[in-house]
Amino acid sequence: SQPCWSEYLATRIEQNMVVSCTCPISECHAQPTAAFICSIVSSEEIIAKYEKALLRGYVECCSNLTWCTNPQGCDQILLKDGLGYGAACSKCSWISCFNCNFPEAHYPATCSHMSHMTCAKCNHGFCWRCLKPWRPTHKDYYNCSAMVSKPAWHQKRFQDYNERCIFHHRAREFAMSLRNRVSSISVMPKIRTLTFVLNACKMLEQARKVLAYSCVYSYYNQDIESMDIVEQQTESLELHTNAL
C-alpha cells in the first residue's frame, strides 16, 4: 500500500540508505526510481534529503569530482584538474589537495611529506593514514617502549621547524581574522583603502600558508645543495611577509 511504501522509503532516506534501496520483498531486487519515490513521499524535507543523497552518491562515483575540503564547512563540488592542486573554490576560496587526504593544498610540501609522521620517542617513521612503517625495515612499529638514542641536533632540528610551522599557521589565522573584521565594516569613507587592506590580508594568508608548509618541505628534504636555495627563498619571503 502507499502508506507502507511511504514509511519504508522515508525510513531509508532518513538512514541514508536510499541509494541502495530495493523492494521490501526479499525475493525482489528491483530499485524504486526517483520518479516513484517523489510520487510516494509527500514530505518536502524528506525529498530534499533524498536529492542530497543522490548528489552525494553521484559525486562519490565520479573520479573527477570531489567536495571542497574546507574544515569550516562548504558544500561546493570541485572538478579535479589532475595536477594535484585544484583551483580555489568558487564559493569559499579554499584550495584543496586532490592527491591525498590532507584537507588543503600544501605546496611546497609534497603529499608524501604530509603523510610521513615520526615517533618522538623512538624516531620511527610511519604513514599516518595506514599506520604502516615508512621504512619496511622497522618491524615493531606498535611498540616503541624501548628507548632509541637520538642525536641532540636531530631533536633540536625538529623543534625549530615545528615551532616555525606553528608560528606561520597562527599568523595566517590572524590575517584571516583581520580580513573578516575589515570585511564586516559596513561604512568606510575611503573604499580604495579598504580594498587595499583586504588584498593585503589575502596575500598574508597565502604567504603564511606557503611558509608553514615550507617548514615541512625543508625538514624532510635531504638534498643539501637545493636546500640552500630553498632556505634563501624562504627567508626572503618571510622577511617581506613580516614587513607586510
- Enter the pTM of the model: 0.51
pLDDT of residue 113: 72
73 shares its domain with 165: no
132 shares its domain with 172: yes
122 shares its domain with 150: yes
Which tops the pLDDT comparison, 128 or 23? 23
88 shares its domain with 132: no
57 shares its domain with 71: no
The radius of gyration of the chain from alpha carbons, rounded to an integer in Å, stands at 25
1 shares its domain with 23: yes
35 shares its domain with 119: no
132 shares its domain with 54: no
pLDDT, tens digit, 9 for 90 and up, residues 55-113: 888 887 777 788 888 877 888 888 876 544 566 788 888 888 877 767 778 877 777 77
194 shares its domain with 81: no
Residue with cell 627567508: 235
Burial of 103: CB neighbours in 10 Å, binned 0-12, 13-18, 19+: middle
Which three cell numbers, joined as nine digits, stand for 216? 615541512
- Nearest CA to 66 out of 58, 92, 83 is that of 58
205 shares its domain with 224: yes
125 shares its domain with 235: yes
21 shares its domain with 53: yes
Domains in the chain, number: 3
pLDDT, tens digit, 9 for 90 and up, residues 176-209: 998 888 888 766 565 666 788 888 999 999 999 9
The answer to whether residues 231 and 219 touch, using CB atoms and an 8 Å cutoff, is no
State the residue range of the domain holding 155. Answer: 113-243
